[in-house]
Amino acid sequence: MRPYRVLLFIASVMACLAALCVVLPGRISFGSHDLRWPTLAEVFDTEKEAFPFHDTIPSPDIISPSLAGEGRGEAPGSIPIPKVPVDSVTDSRMFLAAFYASLSESGSKVVRVLHYGDSQIEEDRMSQQIREALQSRYGGRGCGLMPLAQTIPNKTVRQQLRMNGRFIQPAQGPRRYLVYGPKRDQRSDGLYGVMGQVTMMNDSLVKGSEEVTAVCTPLIPTAQYNRWKVFADTSIHYTFAGDTVFLSGRGAVYGLSQESDKGVIVDNIPMRGCLGLVFTKMDGTQLSSFYREQNVKLIIMQFGGNAIPFNENPGTISGIVKGLREQVQYVQSCAPEASILFIGPSDMLTQEEGEWISYPMVPYMDRLLRKMALEENIAYFSLFRWMGGAGSMKRWQEIGLAGSDGVHFTRAGARKAGNAVADWILEGIDNCEL
């Protein structure tokens, strides 16, 4: 076929498609199925952006109606999103007073901070920035807690297991039980330890797993430490040699810790895929004992994001927040002397008619969580509002701070978010009104 005929054919097809876009709407329904195509405005990118990026970042502790997402109309499926009246004046850092007061002890003893969260904090993301900010001002060394079998690589400490004379992958070693895992990996007695996971050294599960060696090498200067701790059954025996710990016996290992004997220790405890509704499944006596004996003064809970992609019904989101309230109350009962900080989900993107838009339930959940936090006397940091509100994740993608999934931060984005949380905490200490 001659070139001009190819060009004529292509031009004819484009003209027909353009006519279709002009004459017909962007969607035709055939029973339960939809046929969709872009409008001319969408093709030539002449439509106004639905969610402009906010250059002025608002305080994460102050509600701005324009960023809260209310008034956007309805969620998918024509389900109205209820309005949530929230106190927009109170600085929730007032509920960190007990933690702030405890920092005066950091020169003579350990003040411990536990950071629980979903996959957004894996690899020690965000926790690292909070740790470094607090340790630079109040002392302390080491990365803190880690499981014996670390399945997710950590950018702060490299961990290797050795068993039967050779290095192995965590899945090849002793069996793990996780409170946030599938039912086959859960326990009925709730004895998971403070990290929500336990490793069983028992050769009836994996031959030779009654003798395990863990090599945990700090990868950054601030991860250097001056003492090891092992949290395990009394039947487990252990010795140390540099960055290596040798364990033997039959029983449960709840975690290892590289730390200092004073200053602030910040533990990173990621729970991949977790909604945060698991703390009530963990033995309260065991939790209370750890929180008390290890002088835990701040517990950070960062959850909510995993509920967003699978729920378009405000009632479901409201029910999840109710469940998170119960988790907060349970943790408070186990750690009555500690302050609690809840970090809400970031902005998140989904595709609708070929366009990336914010999930409409993110601002709704954010406001519900803020309301819950104030009612339970705990601090609340809104990642959603700090980022810039609805649509900000799209802008974060464009400048390399968010991944292609529209959900997770890149490492650079996580550093930025972690530094923001750390600065917010420290500003609360410096604020004479607190």
Phi and psi dihedrals of 74, rounded to 5? -120, 155
Residue 45 Cα distances to 40, 41, 351, angstroms: 8, 6, 17
Residue 426 pLDDT exceeds 90: yes
Q: What is the largest CA-CA distance in the chain?
A: 86
Helical residues (DSSP H) of 225-380, grouped into ranges = 284-293, 314-334, 361-375
Q: Which of these ranges, 29-38, 232-241, 247-256, has the smallest mean pLDDT?
A: 29-38
pLDDT number for residue 312 = 83
Going by C-alpha positions, the residue among 367, 294, 303, 368 that lies closest to residue 335 is 294
What mean pLDDT do residues 43-52 have? 37
Is 76 within 8 Å of 313 (Cβ atoms)? no
Report, as an integer, the average pLDDT of 297-312: 93
Do the strands 263-270 and 349-352 form a parallel or antiparallel pair, or are they unpaired?
A: unpaired
Angle between helices 411-430 and 127-138 (to 10 degrees): 40
Helix axes 284-293 and 314-334, enclosed angle (nearest 10): 60
Is residue 71 pLDDT above 60, yes or no? Answer: no
Instruction: Give the angle 221-153-296 at the CA atoms, nearest 5°.
Output: 65
Average pLDDT over every residue of 224-231: 96
Q: Which of these, 66, 41, 30, lies nearest to 392 by C-alpha position?
A: 66
Cα dihedral across residues 120, 122, 123, 124: positive or negative: positive
117 touches 300 (CB < 8 A): yes
Any long-range contacts for 351-358 (C-beta under 8 Å, 24+ apart)? Answer: 352/76, 353/26, 353/27, 353/36, 354/36, 354/38, 354/42, 355/42, 355/50, 356/394, 356/406, 357/50, 357/51, 357/391, 358/51, 358/69, 358/390, 358/391, 358/393, 358/394
| Separation CA 373–CA 382 (nearest Å) | 11
- What pLDDT, on the 0 to 100 scale, is given for residue 238? 97
| Termini Cα distance of the chain | 79
Distance CA 365, CA 202 (A): 43
The token pair at 274 is 């977790």
Q: Which domains does the chain have, with CATH numbers?
A: 3-43 (no CATH), 53-140+262-434 (3.40.50.1110), 142-260 (no CATH)
Q: How many C-beta atoms lie closer than 10 Å to residue 31's C-beta?
A: 5
Give the pLDDT of residue 293: 98
The partner residues of 173 in beta bridges, in order of sequence, read: none
Whether residue 65 is predicted with pLDDT greater than 90 in this model: the reply is no
Name which residue leads in pLDDT, 12 or 175. 175
Residue 391: C-alpha distances to residues 51, 54, 191, 349 (Å) = 5, 9, 42, 8
Its pTM stands at: 0.83
Higher pLDDT, 4 or 132: 132
Evaluate if residue 396 carries a pLDDT over 50: yes
The pLDDT of residue 353 is above 80: no
Is residue 121 over pLDDT 90? yes
Residue 66: the pLDDT is 40
Report, as an integer, the average pLDDT of 83-91: 86
Q: With both helix axes pointing from N to C terminus, report the angle between 314-334 and 361-375 in degrees, rounded to the nearest 10.
A: 30
Q: What is the mean pLDDT of the chain?
A: 86
Q: Could you please report the per-residue DSSP string of 225-257?
A: -SEEEEEE-TT-EEEEETTEEEEESSEEEEEEE
**Range of weakest confidence among 2-16, 291-305, 323-337:** 2-16
